[in-house]
């Protein structure tokens, strides 16, 4: 299964891609970060690593094309965590309504501000079995952190000092199974050689451990 999709929510349509490999043990919905989209090369790299581990992926745009144009100028919508959370939950409900996806366990992968939306959404639905944040801003989830029950992995670059401190603070507020993994030598975008590969491997192992078929 590999196809383009459209997710309708509150009078807007969000395009995306869903790819479920044979024998998939679960499906992970991606919440991309600031100024990004379903075409994010970093998220797509991680998505391929998950599919190689027999985990399905669903990448979609959190903002419409017009909203993205507005955000490029104002940089406001990428920090509208409530809006991003609603969009992620809408995508989750869309997936739950599909026969080919409904029997799979669900996970969230969030990057940058998308990580906050992933955690807020996870706090709202028991359907989510695991959450992974890469270079994320979990601190922006605020009080929702204490409500998250899904096992959560926070992956941060060792040279991304400000975000690392924010993640340490967020980790202390999580009452679920949670872990902070630091990738040595990585900055915020994991652009250094080998660092994105390490992050993808950590994410795949976390999802393999926590996602199992509901059948």
Please report whether residue 72 resides in a domain.
Answer: yes
Is 69 inside a domain boundary? yes
86 in any annotated domain: yes
What strands, in cross-sheet order, belong to the sheet with 152-157?
A: 2-9, 12-19, 56-60, 26-31, 105-111, 128-134, 152-157, 178-183
pLDDT the model gives residue 172: 98
Q: From the CB of residue 96, how many other CB atoms can be counted at a distance below 10 Å?
A: 13
CATH number at residue 15: 3.40.50.1820
Q: Whole domain around residue 182: which residue ranges? A: 2-210
Residues 6+ apart with CB under 8 A from 156: 135, 136, 163, 164, 167, 180, 181, 182, 183, 186
Classify 85 in phi/psi space as left (phi over 0), alpha (psi -120 to 50) or beta: alpha
Residue 28 within a domain? yes
Question: Is position 215 within any domain?
Answer: no
How far is Cα 72 from Cα 70, in angstroms, rounded to an integer?
5
Predicted TM-score (pTM) of this structure: 0.93
Could you tell me if residue 182 is inside a domain? Answer: yes
- CA 81 → CA 115, 148, 179, 199, 213, distances in Å? 9, 16, 23, 24, 30
In a domain, 201, yes or no: yes
Contact present, 114 and 59 (Cβ < 8 Å): no
Count of domains in the chain? 1
Q: For residue 199, is it within any domain?
A: yes
Per-residue pLDDT of the chain (215 residues; tens, 9 = 90+): 448 888 888 788 899 999 999 999 899 999 986 666 787 888 899 999 999 999 999 999 888 778 778 767 777 777 889 999 999 999 999 999 999 899 999 999 999 999 999 999 999 999 999 999 999 999 999 999 999 999 999 999 999 999 999 999 999 999 999 999 999 999 999 999 999 999 999 999 999 999 974 44
Q: Please name every residue paired with 98 in a beta bridge, in sequence order, or none if there are none.
A: none
């Amino acid at each position: 299964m590999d196809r383009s999709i459209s997710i309708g929510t509150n009078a807007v349509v969000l395009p995306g891609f869903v790819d479920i490999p044979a024998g998939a043990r679960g499906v992970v919905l991606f919440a991309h970060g600031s100024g990004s989209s379903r075409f994010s090369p970093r998220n797509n790299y991680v998505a391929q690593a998950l599919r190689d581990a027999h985990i399905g992926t669903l990448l979609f745009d959190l903002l419409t094309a017009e909203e993205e144009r507005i955000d490029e100028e104002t940089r406001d919508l990428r920090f509208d965590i409530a809006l991003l959370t609603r969009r992620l939950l809408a995508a989750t409900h869309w997936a739950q309504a599909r026969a080919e996806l409904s029997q799979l366990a669900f996970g969230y992968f969030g990057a940058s501000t998308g990580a906050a939306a992933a955690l807020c959404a996870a706090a709202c639905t028991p359907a989510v079995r695991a959450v992974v944040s890469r270079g994320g801003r979990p601190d922006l989830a605020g009080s929702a952190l204490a409500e998250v029950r899904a096992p959560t992995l926070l992956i941060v670059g060792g040279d991304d000092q400000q975000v690392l401190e924010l993640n340490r603070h967020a980790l202390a507020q999580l009452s679920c199974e949670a872990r902070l993994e630091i990738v040595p030598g990585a900055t915020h975008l994991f652009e250094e050689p080998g660092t994105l590969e390490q992050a993808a491997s950590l994410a795949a192992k976390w999802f393999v451990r926590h996602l199992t078929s509901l059948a």
